[in-house]
Amino acid sequence: MKKSILTMVFVLVFGCTIFLSTTAVTAQDCIKLLKIQEPTGSKAKNRLLFNVEQLKAIMDAMNLKDVSANIELVDDTENVLATLAKIKSGTIKWSHKIVGGTSMLVKLKSEPYQFLLAKVKEKSKNPGVRILASEVSKAGRTETKVTISSCNVTFAEFADLVVIMKYPFNASPGQTLGKDVSLTIENKGTVPAENFDVQMVLSSDTNVPVEPVTYSEEFKDNTLLEQGKETVAALQPGEHITLSFKGSLKVPPGTTPGRYYLGAVVDAGDKIKELNEKNNIDTRLFMVSLPEPKRVILELPDTQLVYEPTKFGLNIVSHGFLLSNGADWRKCNIRPYVFQIKHAAWEDLHWEINTLERGVWQITGAKYCKTGGKAREVKLKMNIKGGSRAVPPTRVILGLIDARLEYEPTAQKFRILTNENQIQYIPYWQVIKLKSHLYHIRFRLWTEGFWELDVFKKQLRKITGGKIGQEGGTAEPLDITLKVEQ
């Protein structure tokens, strides 16, 4: 993360004010090794040897190739400890003598010398010292200092493990990733890293922990993929390896489809003392989704067809939801106790209801609203309100016990069936795919709510207070069996 700091200093010189400002100070997420040694000899007082190659590597990390800047060593309050070099368009001009081609002999004031010597002997990972690159411009008596880049330095040697993950972007619950995942692990430090653990973690966000985690069949935040842990015996400085897991790397079957993050963690448990602990995790976006089902089936045994002969009214209701208002049905009263009904999708067939015989027959081979034809009894429950041979009943209720809703997402085929006959009119229905596992269904005459099909949990829910095709609202599970065919 980058931080920007604005500092201003006023200095009074001979009664004139000189305005000095340091603007846009950028602290990079950078930490590098810089070896500093005490020289020997009679002229070694207040002098230290700085490793030149490491200074160059630090400046490379600071991306200074196309700038002109002063290079300084500062403490954590930005007090200048030593001026090291000037750089212009990638060319470095050292501020002190180079000895032996490998070191720069830096002369320091007494206090910075004692401070640096103590920090070198301390062998701290973060001694509070930085390399700073800055530009200085003058306008009259005003001098402006702008810090371009900076990098923290350490004087002790550490391992530094870095991981890069190769992985599939998408998987389904319970899928094994196995050999599709590989990790490139490198030790960018200066000492070996030995016997460290590597783990693969599924997380709901980017905050993947370095602590060891465990596998669970039901997803819980920061879950280990099944058999997603390996141990690396040793990695030498500058060495890198490609690691494949021996185990299944199975995504927990109980992982609800959605947006997740996959984290590759090196040195799980934080056993290795490293120069930079922030590069031990490679976290990537990871989608868990279901393959599109071949067919989704809702069993609707509580469906009822309600016919009112005197009003020619017809409704189909299931679990308190209207499935048809009769606009797609034809109705014909043959006798006070014999009625024929026909759905708009039916060809060469209609139903004949006889309330005296308490039976329903499927008629083929005859004109609608006429007697005759070939009859086959349809096994339905019948409830009759009123009526006689001479007087039609006020209401006939047929229990469509084999009713079901079928939806085929790929073919965009939607049907409500009973006795293998279609009983819905497609333009009256709306189906929207929300996610790989969620579908919204609504009959256009519903004034409140809609259905949500969850093919992962195999659950149908009534949603109220929400908008179809969007997340939100109040969900109420319905006692309706949902089957999924892949």
Q: Do 150 and 165 have their domain in common? A: no
- Residue 96 near residue 71 (C-beta atoms within 8 A): no
**Pair 197, 143 in one domain:** no
Tell me if 432 is assigned to some domain.
no
Neighbouring C-beta atoms of residue 305, cutoff 10 Å: 25
Same domain, residue pair 102 and 136: yes
With a pLDDT cut of 70, the percent of the chain lying above it is: 94
Residues 176 and 53 in one domain: no
CA–CA gap between residue 172 and residue 306 (Å, rounded):
43
Answer whether residue 254 shows pLDDT above 60.
Answer: yes
Per-residue pLDDT, 426: 80
Q: Does 195 map to a domain?
A: yes
| pLDDT range class, residue 140, cuts 50, 70, 90 | confident
Q: From residue 303, how far is each of 64, 153, 384, 439 by CA, in Å?
A: 75, 75, 16, 21
pLDDT value of position 237:
96
When pLDDT is cut at 50, 70 and 90, the band that residue 26 belongs to is: very low
In the predicted structure, residue 11 carries a pLDDT above the cut 70:
no
Region 15-37 average pLDDT: 60
Tokens coding 476: 């109420």
Q: What is the CA angle 478-324-298, rounded to 5?
A: 35
Q: How far is CA 12 from CA 16, 142, 331, in A?
A: 6, 12, 102
Task: Tell me whether residue 258 is in a domain.
Answer: yes
Q: What does pTM read for this prediction? A: 0.75
- The pLDDT score that the predictor gives to residue 20 is 43
Q: Look at residue 380 and tell me whether its pLDDT is greater than 50.
A: yes
429: enclosing H helix or E strand: strand 429-435
Choose the final residue of a domain: 154, 169, 191: 154
The stretch 415-424 carries a mean pLDDT of 93
Could you tell me if residue 417 is inside a domain? Answer: no
Q: 197 and 109 in one domain? A: no
125 and 168 in a single domain? The answer is no
β-pairing, 223-235 vs 91-94, is unpaired
Distance CA 117, CA 99 (A): 20
2 has a pLDDT exceeding 80: no
Contact of 351 with 342, CB cutoff 8 Å: yes
pLDDT tens track for 257-289: 999 999 999 999 999 999 888 899 999 999 999
- Provide the token pair at 359: 């039976």
In a domain, 403, yes or no: no
Q: Among 252, 273, 288, where does a domain finish?
A: 288
- Domain, as residue range, for 220: 161-288
- At which of 288, 303, 333 does a domain end? 288
DSSP 226-237: EEEEEEEEEE-T
Examine the domain organization and report whether 193 and 260 are in the same domain. yes
Mean pLDDT, range 470-479, rounded to an integer:
96
To 10 degrees, the CA torsion angle through 458, 462, 465, 466?
40
Q: Please tell me whether residues 53 and 193 are part of one structural domain.
A: no
Average pLDDT estimate for 334-342: 97
Does residue 100 sit within a domain?
yes
Token pair of 241, please?
């390896």
Indicate the pLDDT class of residue 42, thresholds 50, 70 and 90: low
Residue whose entry in the numeric block shows the structure tokens 């949902």: 482
Q: Residue 252 above 50 pLDDT?
A: yes
Q: Are residues 237 and 187 in the same domain?
A: yes
Overall domain count for the chain: 2
- Give the pLDDT confidence score for residue 162 in this predicted structure: 97
- Residue 261 is assigned to a structural domain of this protein: yes
Question: Do residues 170 and 242 both lie within one domain?
Answer: yes
Whether 150 and 19 share a structural domain? yes
**CATH code, domain carrying 230:** 2.60.40.10
Which helix H or strand E contains 260, and what residues bound it? strand 258-266
Tens of pLDDT, residue by residue over 109-127, are 999 999 999 999 998 888 9
Do 16 and 136 lie in one domain? The reply is yes
Whether 123 is covered by a domain: the verdict is: yes
At 112, which helix (H) or strand (E)? Answer: helix 110-122
